[in-house]
Amino acid sequence: MARTKDSTSSRSPLQIDLAQRIARLIKDGTFAPGQHLTEKGLAEQYDVSRTPVRAALTMLEEEGFVESRANSGFWVAKGGHRLRLERLAPSSITEDELFRLLITDRGRGKLPSTFTDADLQAGYPAPKSMLTRVMLRLTREGLIERRKGHGWSFTESLDTKEAHDESYRFRAIVESAGLREPTFKVDVDELRKCRAAQERFLAHATGAKALAEFFEMNLEFHEMLARFSGNRFIVRAVAQQNQLRRFLEYTYFEDRPISLVDSTKEHLQIIDALEQGDSEWAAALMQRHLGAASRR
């Protein structure tokens, strides 16, 4: 069934109120499991048009109270009476905020390496539909994967100090070497766009949005220089390291926002050296940048 924009926070008070009223009747058994709920009947019962009823039923489907069947509308779900009404409250968190919260909670050890949808629904104040979209986003970015049979697991990450330190030493070797490769060649347009992005960031580096922007900009900066190396193995190694460090470093930068500015300034120094055609100096700056980042 096609769905409209489905974040609970985007729905009207009337739609949310209708969903809660219908859910109460499901919970007290007035609407029994397997019972057919029609838009016409509910619209007449609550003296409203079919449009808000349809939105309320869609919301109830997303939260598991009802289910839709092809060409026959909505039916009370088998376990709907056991669900909590709080699931229908307007969400106080956005999708991006939930995405960042899951990453930082994992980085701080608040989320275990394996978990289920029920764990998330019990622990985070967000609609089931939003949690589903965030799970898909985390999957697309390679941060989680489906477990065989049941639940999810986070992919490998740098979850100990020893692994983190080893990663930075490895990156210092590989990324500096990439700038010294005989096949190294700067894409002038790409480098110019990268500089502009770094400078824009410095002009307004505040708040949670800045953290998300920096994190992606930081990953792209290092992967861009790896691509300039012309060495496919360096490209793969840098991409893999970026993937491994997402959880720990996202949490680190959130706790120490001043480091966002420091790291961006160091990126610009490396860009300066490359614009001057001095890749050897850029390699030395890269080694210093990664050493400083590791110590921070």
Each residue's pLDDT tens digit, 210-244? 666 787 888 899 999 999 999 999 999 998 888 77
| Side chain identity, residue 68 | S
Confidence at residue 91, expressed as pLDDT on a 0 to 100 scale: 55
Confidence at residue 59, expressed as pLDDT on a 0 to 100 scale: 87
Confidence at residue 37, expressed as pLDDT on a 0 to 100 scale: 95
Over residues 247-255, mean pLDDT = 59
Confidence at residue 92, expressed as pLDDT on a 0 to 100 scale: 58
Residue appearing with tokens 């029609």:
38
What average pLDDT does the chain have?
Answer: 83
| Cα–Cα dist 294/172, whole Å | 10
| Cα–Cα dist 24/46, whole Å | 14
**203: pLDDT strictly greater than 70:** yes
Cβ neighbours for 111, distance < 8 A, ≥ 6 positions apart: 102, 105, 154
User: How many residues comprise the chain?
Assistant: 296
Q: Which domains does the chain have, with CATH numbers?
A: 8-88 (1.10.10.10), 95-154 (1.10.10), 161-295 (1.20.120.530)
Give the E-state strand segments of 6-72 in sequence order.
36-37, 66-69
Q: What is the DSSP secondary structure assignment for residue 32, as one 8-state letter? A: -
| Cα–Cα dist 104/110, whole Å | 8
Over residues 43-50, mean pLDDT = 85
